[in-house]
Chains A and B, each alone.
Chain A
Amino acid sequence: MAKQFDFALAIGGAAGQGVATPGMILARIFSRRGLHLNAYNAYQSIVRGGHIFLTVRISNDKVYSHGDKLDMLICLNQDTMDRHLHLMEAGGRVAFNSDTVTPGKAADGVQICPIPVKELTGGSRNKVIQNTVALGVITFMLGLDFQVLDNALALQFSRKGQEVLDENVGVARAGYEYAKAHFQSFDESVPNGAKPLALWTGNQALAMGGAAAGVKFYSAYPMAPSTGVLHWMAQNARELDIMVRQCEDEIAVANMIIGAAHTGVRSMCATSGGGFALMTEAVGAAAMMEIPAVFINVQRAGPSTGVPTKTEQGDLWQVLGASQGDFERFIAAPWNALDAFNTIPEMFNLCDKHQCPGIVMSDLLISEGTFSFDADDLNMQPAIDRGEMITEGTANGDYMRYKDTESGISPRAIPGIEGYVHVVATDEHDQDGVLISDEYTNPHKRRRMVEKRARKFAGVDKAMVAPSLEGPADAEVTLIGWGSTYGVIKEAIAQLKNEGITANHLQIKWIVPFHSQQVTEIVTAAKKTIIVENNYSGQFFRYMRSETGLKVDGHIRKYDGEPFMPHHIVDGVKEQMVGNTDHFVPHQEIMV
C-alpha cells in the first residue's frame, strides 16, 4: 500500500458565484484517477448571495467523512477569506482573486497565493471566469499535468461550443502557468488510485437503489434535501420505464404510491420531515390495507421549516410515531450512500413479503454529499422477492384477501384477475375485507385481525443483519451511533487510537425491528458507552432505552445544523474519559 495521501480542499463564495462547477470538475478529475472522495457542501436556502463552502476530501484510501483539516482554501470572495483563513495551518495554501479579495493575517507557514485574475483573463467580463483560473492554479499546486485539466474542461464545456471551451482552457492555462511561476506546489502530488471510481450523491444512490429494486412508480413534491431523488428519477424515467409524478402535495404523493402499489407495481417516494408529516396518515393506510410501499425521509434541521439546508438526525421520533394506531412497518437508517443504495431493494423485499410500509431515513449529510464509489461494488440486479402475490389465474370466488394464516401473511391478489375480486379498506375489516364496523363491530374479529397483522412481524428481526461490534471487544470505550454518523465515528475511533484510547463501535441501522437482544449483549459487555447523535435531545438514546432498558455513560450531541467532524467526537470522548463531563456538545469551528 502506497503511503497515505489525504488531502482536503475547500472552495468558498456566494451563491451565484458558481462554486459547484469547479467543485464537480475537480471531483471528477480525482475520482477518475481512482481516488476516494467525500465532499460536503455547506449552503443556505437562497439562490444569490449568502455563503457557500464546498469541502472536497480525497485520499488513496477510503474516506468516511469530509475530515478535519483543510490543505487548500480557494476564496472566491472576501467573505470566504474573512471567515476561514484562521482554519489554515502551516503548509496550507490560500488562493484568491487579488483584484477583489484582500488577504487577512494568516498563521505562520501558510502560503498566500494571490491571483491577478483580470490580468490573466485579459479583462474578461465573464463573472465566473475566476473559477477556471483557480482550477488552473489548483491543478499546478496538486502536481497534476495541465493535460488532466484540459481533458476535464473539454468534457465540461464542449456542449457549450468551441468558443466557450477555448476561453476556459486559455484562462486555465494562464492560471496554471502563473502558479508555476509564483507559487510553490504541494510536496506531494496527487497519486493514482487502483482504478477509476464513479461519483454519486446519497440521493442518487437512493434513486438508483429504487431503480435496481424495480420501482416503476415514483412520486414527489420538491423538498430539500430530498429533491435529488426526484431529479434522478425524472432524468432516467423514460429509459427505465418509471412513472414519475410531481404531485400537488405530499399527501397526494403518499396516497398515489399506495394506489400504484396496490396494482402490483413497486412504488416509492421521498421527502423531508415536513413532507413526511403530511404523508403520515397514508403510512398507516398502507399498513391497514396491507399494501407494500417505501417512503424515504431525508432529514433536515427542524422543527417546522427549520434550517432547510442543514443536517440533523431529528426525525427519529417523528418517524416512529408516523400515523395513528398500532401497526407493523419497517424503519431503517442506512449509514452512507452505498448502504442507502443497498437498503432500498432490501426494504422492498421486506415490505413485499410482509405486505406493509417501510420507511428509510436518510439525512442531508448522506443525501446531498458527493461520494466516490466503485461501480463493481454495486449490485444493480439484486434478488427480487415479491412475497405471496397472486398475479394471474382464476379463483372460484372464495378468495379472502386478509385470510388469517399461520404466518399472518395473506396471499395478495392484484386487481384485474377474475375471481379474486375484493375490497381493501382502511377501516378495520375481516378476513374477506368486509368492514368490521358494518356489523356493529365485533371485538373478537377485531382482535383476530390485529393479531394476524402483528404475526407477520414475529421474529422478523432475523430477516436482516443484526448489529455487531466493530473493533476490539475489550476497548476502553464503545461509541454508539445510528444512521449517517457511521463514517465520522469510524474515523474518530482511528484518531483516538493514535491518541492512545482504544474504542470500538456499535452502529445501528435497523430501527424497526430493533435488535434488542444483540444490542443489550453488546452494551452490557462494554466498559464505557457513549452515544453520538446529531440532535439535541438524544432521540436515539431514548429510543434504545425504551426498547432495552439500557442506560449509557455519556453523550456527544451536535445540533447546530452542521455535521460532526471526526475531531468533535475525539474531543468529546477525551473529555469523558477523564471524567470532565458526560454530555459533550462540540463547538463548530467552521462558520457556514
Chain B
Amino acid sequence: MDGIITHDLVVDPQSVDDFKGKVDPDWCPGCGDYGVLNCLRRACVDLGLKPHEILTISGIGCSSNFPGFFNSFGMHTLHGRALAVATGAKLANHELTVIVTGGDGDGFGIGGNHFTHTARRNVDLTYIVMDNQIYGLTTGQLSPTSIKGMKTKSTPFGSVEPTYNPITSAIMNGATFVARGFSGDVKHLSMLMQMAIRHKGFSLVQVYSPCPTFNHDNDFKFFKTRVKKLEDADHDTSDWKTACEKAMEWGDTIYTGLFFQNKKAEALGDLEPILDKGGPLCNRPLGLSDKQVDGIIARMM
C-alpha cells in the first residue's frame, strides 16, 4: 500500500468493511455522508453484490467524492453531470448495477435538467442524493434545497428564495421509485437503498445528510426530533397525490420512507428494441457485417 492508501480492495466482500474503497473518507468529523456510505456498503452486502458488478458515478462536491471511498468501479465526473454519464453507461452495459451518488447542488442545481429527464426516461439507475441543503465543498453557499431565510455565505442577510422539493419534482418528472431517508437512521436508510437498487427503473433516494460545518439550521438534532416514517403513517405508495402532499410537509413532521413507487412502468433499457437480444452493447462486435454494408449502400444509390 502506497502513501495514503488505507485498504486493498476486496474482490469478494463478505462484510460491510469489505466494501471500503482504497482510501478513507476525508469528510469532516460528524458529516452526514459517513452514514450514507455505510448504508450503501451494508445494502450491497445484503444484496450479495460484487464490487465489479457495480458502477458508482458521481459529480463534484463533498458528497460526490463517494466513489473513491467505496469498493466498486467508479466514475467521479463533472459537477452536475453524473446522471447523464450514468445514462450512457447503463445503456451501454445494462448488466452493471449503476448507482449515482451526489449532493443537492450537484443534482438539483447545476444538474437539474438531467434530473428532470433521467427521471422522465425512467433509466434503471439508483440515485442517492446526500442533501445537506448547502454547498459544502465550496464552503457554504445557498443550495436549491436550502430553507427560506437561511443565512449562508452567499445569502448573509438570509435567503429570500423558496426551497426546491426533490420528492415532488421527481414524482412529477416520472421517477418510478421515490424515497427519502435520514443519514441518522442507518437501518431504515439501508433498507431503502436495497429497495431502490432492486427497483427496475429510476429510483431516487433523497437523504437528509447534515453538514455540521456549514449548515447550522438543519443539523442532526433538527432532523432527529422531526423525522417520521411513512411506514408508520399508513401511506399508500401507489398514490402519487398523497405522496406529494406528504413530501410537502416541512415542520414538526418530516416524512422519510418510500413516497411513491410505480412497479408497472418499464425502464428505458427494456423499451429499447436493440437491447432485447445480443447482450450489453459494450460486448457486441464492432464494425458492419457484409449484409449491413449492402443495405446501407443500396439505400444511398
* Interface, chain A (partner B; CB < 8 A): 32, 196, 198-200, 204, 208, 211-214, 216-217, 219, 236-243, 245, 247-249, 251-253, 255-267, 281-282, 285, 289, 375, 378, 380-382, 384, 386, 391, 397, 414-427, 430, 432-435, 438-439
Task: Give every chain B residue within 8 A of A240 (Cβ-Cβ).
Answer: 288, 292
| Contact A421 to B71, CB < 8 A, known contacts A255-B81, A285-B78 | yes
Q: How far is the CA of A208 from the CA of B23 in the complex (A)?
A: 45
Q: Are A423 and B67 in contact (CB under 8 A)?
A: yes
Task: Give every chain B residue within 8 A of A439 (Cβ-Cβ).
Answer: 3-4
Please tell me which stretch of B39-47, B86-94, B213-221, B251-259 contacts chain A, meaning at least 4 of its Cβ atoms lie within 8 angstroms of it.
B86-94
Chain B residue with Cβ nearest A264: B282
Interface presence of B50 (CB below 8 A): yes
Q: Are A214 and B286 in contact (CB under 8 A)?
A: yes
Q: Tell me the smallest distance from the CB of B135 to a CB of chain A, in Å.
A: 17
Task: Give every chain B residue within 8 A of A417 (Cβ-Cβ).
Answer: 52
Interface presence of B22 (CB below 8 A): yes
Instruction: Give the 7 A-B residue pairs with the shortest CB-CB distance, closest first.
Output: A214-B286, A259-B88, A423-B74, A259-B85, A260-B88, A255-B84, A256-B88
Cross-interface CB contact of B52 among A213, A252, A419, cutoff 8 Å: A419
Chain A at the B interface: SS class = mixed
| Contact A418 to B52, CB < 8 A, known contacts A251-B81, A378-B297 | yes
| Contact A241 to B278, CB < 8 A, known contacts A421-B72, A434-B23 | yes
Interface presence of B169 (CB below 8 A): no
Task: Give every chain A residue within 8 A of B113 (Cβ-Cβ).
Answer: 248-249, 251-252
Q: Are B78 and A434 in contact (CB under 8 A)?
A: no
Task: Give every chain B residue within 8 A of A425 (Cβ-Cβ).
Answer: 68, 75-76
Q: Are A259 and B296 in contact (CB under 8 A)?
A: no
Interface presence of B55 (CB below 8 A): yes
Q: How far is the CA of A382 from the CA of B272 in the complex (A)?
A: 28
Chain B residue with Cβ nearest A445: B3
Interface residues on B, range: 35 or more
Task: Give every chain A residue within 8 A of B2 (Cβ-Cβ).
Answer: 432
Q: How far is the CA of A265 from the CA of B53 in the complex (A)?
A: 17
Cross-interface CB contact of A267 among B72, B90, B92, cutoff 8 Å: B92
| Contact A217 to B60, CB < 8 A, known contacts A211-B288, A266-B286 | no
Task: Give every chain B residue within 8 A of A257 (Cβ-Cβ).
Answer: 88
Q: Are B274 and A238 in contact (CB under 8 A)?
A: yes
Interface presence of B229 (CB below 8 A): no
Q: Tell me the smallest distance from the CB of B248 to a CB of chain A, in Å.
A: 26
Q: Are A265 and B92 in contact (CB under 8 A)?
A: yes
Q: Are A248 and B116 in contact (CB under 8 A)?
A: yes
Please tell me which stretch of B5-13, B187-195, B204-212 contacts chain A, meaning at least 4 of its Cβ atoms lie within 8 angstroms of it.
B5-13
Q: How far is the CA of A394 from the CA of B285 in the complex (A)?
A: 21
| Contact A285 to B68, CB < 8 A, known contacts A237-B274, A267-B92, A375-B297 | no
Chain A residue with Cβ nearest B113: A248
Q: Are B274 and A242 in contact (CB under 8 A)?
A: yes
| Contact A247 to B92, CB < 8 A, known contacts A240-B292, A423-B73, A432-B22 | no
The residue among B5, B88, B90 with the most chain A CB atoms within 10 A of its own CB is B88
Q: How far is the CA of A434 from the CA of B91 in the complex (A)?
A: 27
Interface residues in B73-115 (C-beta closer than 8 Å to A):
73-78, 81, 84-93, 95-96, 113-114
Q: Are A214 and B300 in contact (CB under 8 A)?
A: no
Q: Are A418 and B288 in contact (CB under 8 A)?
A: no
Q: Offer 27 A-B interface pairs, CB within 8 angstroms, sorted by A.
A: A216-B282, A217-B91, A217-B281, A241-B278, A241-B281, A241-B284, A248-B117, A249-B113, A252-B117, A256-B88, A259-B92, A262-B89, A265-B92, A265-B281, A267-B92, A281-B78, A282-B78, A391-B283, A415-B73, A415-B96, A418-B52, A421-B9, A421-B72, A423-B21, A423-B68, A425-B76, A434-B68
Interface presence of B301 (CB below 8 A): yes
Cross-interface CB contact of A263 among B92, B273, B287, cutoff 8 Å: B92
Task: Give every chain A residue within 8 A of B26 (Cβ-Cβ).
Answer: 438
Task: Give every chain A residue within 8 A of B76 (Cβ-Cβ).
Answer: 423-427, 435
Interface presence of B280 (CB below 8 A): yes
Task: Give every chain A residue within 8 A of B9 (Cβ-Cβ).
Answer: 397, 421
Q: Are B88 and A219 in contact (CB under 8 A)?
A: yes
Q: Tell me the smallest distance from the CB of B217 to a CB of chain A, in Å.
A: 29
Task: Give every chain A residue within 8 A of B297 (Cβ-Cβ).
Answer: 198, 375, 378, 380
Q: Are A259 and B75 in contact (CB under 8 A)?
A: yes
Chain B residue with Cβ nearest A414: B282
Cross-interface CB contact of A422 among B65, B74, B117, cutoff 8 Å: B74
Q: Are B73 and A259 in contact (CB under 8 A)?
A: no
Task: Give every chain B residue within 8 A of A237 (Cβ-Cβ).
Answer: 274
Interface presence of B51 (CB below 8 A): yes
| Contact A418 to B50, CB < 8 A, known contacts A381-B288, A438-B68 | yes
Task: Give every chain B residue within 8 A of A242 (Cβ-Cβ).
Answer: 274
Chain B residue with Cβ nearest A383: B287
Q: Are B93 and A415 in contact (CB under 8 A)?
A: yes
Chain A residue with Cβ nearest B80: A251
Q: Are A435 and B65 in contact (CB under 8 A)?
A: yes
Q: How far is the CA of A452 from the CA of B210 in the complex (A)?
A: 39
Task: Give every chain B residue within 8 A of A219 (Cβ-Cβ).
Answer: 88
Q: Tell me the smallest distance from the CB of A285 to a CB of chain B, in Å.
A: 5
Interface presence of B29 (CB below 8 A): no
Cross-interface CB contact of B300 among A198, A253, A267, cutoff 8 Å: A198
Q: Tell me the smallest distance from the CB of B119 to a CB of chain A, in Å.
A: 11
| Contact A263 to B96, CB < 8 A, known contacts A421-B9, A424-B74 | yes
Q: Tell me the smallest distance from the CB of B158 to a CB of chain A, in Å.
A: 32
Q: Are B55 and A415 in contact (CB under 8 A)?
A: yes
The residue among A253, A262, A382, A439 with the most chain B CB atoms within 10 A of its own CB is A262
